[in-house]
Amino acid sequence: MQPIILLLYNGIFIPLFMFSVRLAALFNNKVARGVAGRRALLNRLAEQCAVLPDSGPRIWIHISSLGEFEQARPIVRALRSRLPGAAIALSFFSPSGYEPARSYREADLITYLPLDSWRQSGAFLDLLKPSLHLIIRHDIWPNMQRQLQRRGIPSLLVDASLTPQRLRTVRRLRAFIRPVYATFAEVLVTTPDNAAHFHPIYPWPERIHVCGDTRYDQVSQRALETGKIEFLLESGRFTRERCLVIGSSWPSDERVILPAVVEALARDPGFRVIIAPHETTEEHLRGIESHLAGSGISFLRLGEFSPASPDFQVLLIDRIGLLANLYALGGLAFVGGGFGPGVHSVLEPAAHGCAVCFGPHHVNSLEAAALLRRGGGVLIDSTAAMDRALQQFLSGGEEMRRIGGEAGALVRENLGASGRVVEAILRHLKSIKE
């Protein structure tokens, strides 16, 4: 990095960033949890590292949040198979990733990443002593990357991709970003198009390799793990050809799609809907229930469900952690976020062979674009569009089954990225030994 950029980053940006984080923690619970989790971080890390085995390589995988954690999990599984003697450490920036991962038993060490000061990043590496470092997708910190480079620790950027929006941003910041990306020993991109996107910001095009997206491996694996919802599968209340699953919905999504859903439920007494909102707060759940009750639609919360429960038209999911499995119950899925901050994971329903619907704000999702290109996705831009999709689905025609088949085929055709990432890891570990 150029000296003037380093000076600005460490002399101005990092102090302002740290001050902003502490200030935001006074008003934002999520930020406050992250600040609290980093207290005495290095002391805890020293205790964790003291019990790690010294016999095998130490693989450190850094993850921003929960979505990237899902991408890391199949890599960890593949590493356990290929390198059973390796110690695997996971670090997180966000509490939304760190907190759910604390119970993850496949990793030997789970920690927060320190804020990116030169001193803290160096102290972190002195304790962890990784043989190799991976970043899943993004969350790249300049000081940590420079510290890795100075120590000769290979750093790989995995599942690398740039949406059109991010591509415009990195082009504007190219002078600053290119030296940071130059610290990576290899960039493993998801698609050939993304390989071309990285050429302006990564100086060694021969070290850019297309490995695919490990999310496909993870959603395929999770589609097989239906134990969490076995009681719903065995209840006989849901038939895939007559069931819609609404996943990760925001109020902005619900204002558009729920009127069409209510109309379909009123027309078809055999139609069933499962709603798993993005936020399972009491306020959000009651808002959905109020809309359903005002329209004369019967509903039940999952926490109240039992085999003896009276009949209902809508099952409202009041806890997190089940959505990827719940898509097994429906033939049609609507993935939320597309009328708000951006569409959530469309691959989870695709792995179950659902016809996947989503709203117009999907530029953040390369997978949504891939589904639309091959006819495995349905763009919903209005209540009328949702009504048409539901009529088509409930008419029993072949079109929705064909769309679901294309969605499932997209997932199957993109399996295997985790194995290719592990091959790259093994290649770098071998070069270190030599």
DSSP state of 46: H
364: its two tokens: 């953040």
| C-beta of residue 379 within 8 angstroms of C-beta of residue 360 | yes
Each residue of 201-228: b (16+ CB within 10 Å) or e? bbeeeeebbebbbbbbbbbbbbbeebee
Q: What is the pLDDT of residues 169-222, one digit of tens each?
A: 878 888 888 999 999 999 999 989 889 889 989 999 999 999 999 999 999 999
Mean pLDDT of the chain: 93
Statement: residue 397 has pLDDT above 90: no
Q: In sequence order, what E strands does 118-238 have?
A: 132-136, 155-160, 186-189, 208-210
Q: How much is the pLDDT for 5?
A: 78
Q: Widest CA span of the chain, in angstroms?
A: 71
Residue 2 has pLDDT above 70, yes or no: no
Tokens (6 digits) for 188: 């493993």
CA atoms within 13 A on the CB side of 265: 22
pLDDT for position 262: 96
Which DSSP letter does residue 203 get?
A: S
State yes or no: pLDDT of 166 exceeds 90: no
Mean pLDDT value of segment 322-350: 94
88-110 mean pLDDT? 93
Which tens digits make up the pLDDT trace of 242-266?
A: 999 999 999 999 999 999 999 999 9
pLDDT at 172: 82
Confidence of residue 62 (pLDDT cuts 50, 70, 90): very high
pLDDT at 37: 93
* Residue 320 banded pLDDT, cuts 50, 70, 90: confident
Write down the pTM of the prediction.
Answer: 0.87
Q: What is the mean pLDDT of residues 372-384?
A: 95
Task: Give me the residue label for tokens 């929705």.
Answer: 400
Pairing of strands 243-249, 272-277: parallel
402 token code pair = 């064909």
The DSSP line for 209-229 is: EE---HHHHHHHHHHH--GGG
Q: Which residue has the tokens 């109309």?
A: 263
For residue 432, pLDDT beyond 80 = no
Angle at 416 between CA 414 and CA 422, to 5 degrees: 140
Distance CA 12, CA 360 (A): 38
Under DSSP, the state recorded for 134 is E
| Residue of higher predicted confidence among 167 and 370 | 370
Q: Output the pLDDT for position 96.
A: 86
Q: Cβ(111)–Cβ(45) under 8 Å?
A: yes
pLDDT band at 95 (very low <50, low <70, confident <90, very high): very high
pLDDT per residue as tens digits for the range 411-429: 999 999 999 999 999 999 9
> Which among 394, 365, 373 is positioned nearest to 272, based on CA atoms?
394
Mean pLDDT of 358-374: 90
111 pairs with which residues across the strands?
A: 91
DSSP annotation string for 9-32:
IIIIIHHHHHHHHHHHTTT-HHHH
Residue 335 dihedral angles phi and psi, to the nearest 5°: -100, 125
- Ordered by where they begin, the domains of the chain are 40-212+416-433 (3.40.50.11720), 224-413 (3.40.50.2000)
Pairwise CA distance, residues 414 & 434, whole Å:
33
Quick one: average pLDDT of 370-383? 95
